[in-house]
Amino acid sequence: MSTSSTDEVPLFRPEALAAKGAQRFGSVLIHQPWGYSLAAILAGVLVLLVVAFAFFGTYTRKATINGLLMPERGMLRLTAPGPGILSDVRVVEGRSVEAGEALFILSGERLSAAGGTQKLISQQLSQRLLLLERNRSLADERLAVQLRMLDSRLATIASELSQFSEELRLLERRGELANAHLGRQQELVDAGFISVAQLQQAEAELLTLQGQQQSIQRARASLQRERTELMAQRQDVELHHRSEMSEIDNGIALIRQEQAESDARAELVSVAPFAGTLTGLSVQPGQQVAAGALLASLIPQGATLIAHLYAAPRQAGFIEPGQPVLMRYAAYPYQKFGMARGRVVDVAKSPYAAQELPAHIVSAIQGVGAPSELFYRVTVALDSPSMDVYGNAQLLQAGMLLEADVVQDKRRLYEWALEPLYSVTGKMQE
């Protein structure tokens, strides 16, 4: 065989190649049910909805707190000033009263076998007061008599001293004349015109005048001493009278004080400290009341209602002024009348113990925590002082209980989910 003929011979036979190219079972066909496609579409839509909800959906963190409505300037609880029987009620529910107006009259009279004890005490005090007043009048009369006697004697002494002064003046003048006469007599004796006996007679007259003058001076000195003693005695009498009157006045003042206290115990009057509207009247005439018993409440005139919420320490950390508040009044079920809105205006800087709060406030917030827990007072301004009740605006009343949701924070859902990551990132940046 030649070389050219060898190269032209194929490796495989044509029959083998033809058999290999022919498909014995045909092409592979993969069949997928229509339910799989629908499930895939629904799963995709669900994923998109979850992503959209996580992005557009929001969650609001709220603090639910109990509280009550109060006037902006507070509400005064009128209590009985002491134990007794309510003898007169001079006001009615909802009436406007003026400052200083008498509202309630309480009788503190106690009855015994001898009669009313306060009446007997008042009679005895009146008798003691009358006795002291009589002693005062007697002391004044006694002083007047003593002063009149002393003044009369002092006037007599003054008259006698005046007479003595006049006599002394005359004796001094006579003494001067006698002394001059004695001098002339001495000259005449020296000249030999008269005898020595006449000179001695002139000397005797001068000595007599001098003796009279000394006697009058002694009498005047005695009267002056007596006058000094009488004036001192007069001062002592006045001083003793002032001391006696001071004791009597002190006794009268004490008795009048006891009378005032007795009258106060016999009749206690409760007055309005300021102008306002009386509400919560809970007593009636003839009722026995204890000291401190609630009689009524007084709302200041023109007061604006606010809400006082009492938050536990675990709730007060994120409450700030300006946060919106949603309120549900116990008197108006929110399922029917909706919720009222307000805004936080103040948060107390220091907490209140339950023992420091009035009993009605403690009972209003008792659902928040244990009675021994501390509470922070949150003041909320109301958007409206009324509620829409069946198309009519119903004014809210002080003391209404409420439950409030303080809106503290509002975020998208993905932000809440990523909050731990934000916290870690913030700490790393710090």
DSSP string over 212-271: HHHHHHHHHHHHHHHHHHHHHHHHHHHHHHHHHHHHHHHHHHHHHHHHHHHHHHHEEEEE
In the prediction, which pLDDT does 56 show? 65
Same fold, 61-72+304-426 and 115-266: no
**Measured distance CA(199)–CA(209) in Å, rounded:** 16
**3-state secondary structure at position 382:** strand
Across 72-81, 115-124, 235-244, least confident range = 115-124
**Which DSSP symbol is given to 320?**
-
pLDDT in tens, 234-278: 999 999 999 988 998 998 899 888 877 777 666 778 888 888 888
Q: In the predicted model, is pLDDT for residue 5 greater than 60?
A: no
In the prediction, which pLDDT does 380 show? 94
Averaged over 324-335, what is the pLDDT? 92
Q: Where are the alpha helices (DSSP H) in 318-392?
A: 334-337, 359-365
In the prediction, which pLDDT does 1 show? 43
Confidence band, pLDDT 50/70/90 cuts, at residue 111: low
Q: In the predicted model, is pLDDT for residue 291 greater than 90?
A: no
**Measured distance CA(226)–CA(232) in Å, rounded:** 10
Averaged over 2-26, what is the pLDDT? 61
- Residue listed under structure tokens 């014995």: 24
**Measured distance CA(68)–CA(366) in Å, rounded:** 12
Q: In the predicted model, is pLDDT for residue 279 greater than 80?
A: yes
In the prediction, which pLDDT does 262 show? 72
Joined together, the tokens standing for residue 237 give 């009498």
Q: In the predicted model, is pLDDT for residue 144 greater than 50?
A: yes
**Measured distance CA(402)–CA(330) in Å, rounded:** 5
**Measured distance CA(211)–CA(161) in Å, rounded:** 18
In the prediction, which pLDDT does 162 show? 85
**Measured distance CA(34)–CA(418) in Å, rounded:** 39
In 3D, which of 341, 417, 414, 419 has the Cα closest to residue 380?
A: 341
**Measured distance CA(56)–CA(410) in Å, rounded:** 12
pLDDT in tens, 52-61: 766 666 656 7
In the prediction, which pLDDT does 421 show? 61
**What is the CATH number that goes with domain 115-266?**
1.10.287.1490
CATH architecture of 76-114+267-296: Beta Barrel (2.40)
CATH architecture of 61-72+304-426: Beta Barrel (2.40)
Joined together, the tokens standing for residue 238 give 């006045």
**Secondary structure (DSSP) of 375-414:** EEEEEEEES-SEEEETTEEEEP-TT-EEEEEEEEEEEEHH
**Which DSSP symbol is given to 332?**
S
pLDDT in tens, 199-227: 788 778 778 877 888 888 888 888 889 88
**Measured distance CA(139)–CA(151) in Å, rounded:** 18
Domain residue spans in the chain?
Answer: 61-72+304-426, 76-114+267-296, 115-266
Averaged over 378-383, what is the pLDDT? 93
**Measured distance CA(125)–CA(155) in Å, rounded:** 44
Average pLDDT across the chain, whole number: 80
**What region, left, alpha or beta, does residue 230 occupy, with left being phi > 0 and alpha being psi -120 to 50 degrees?**
alpha
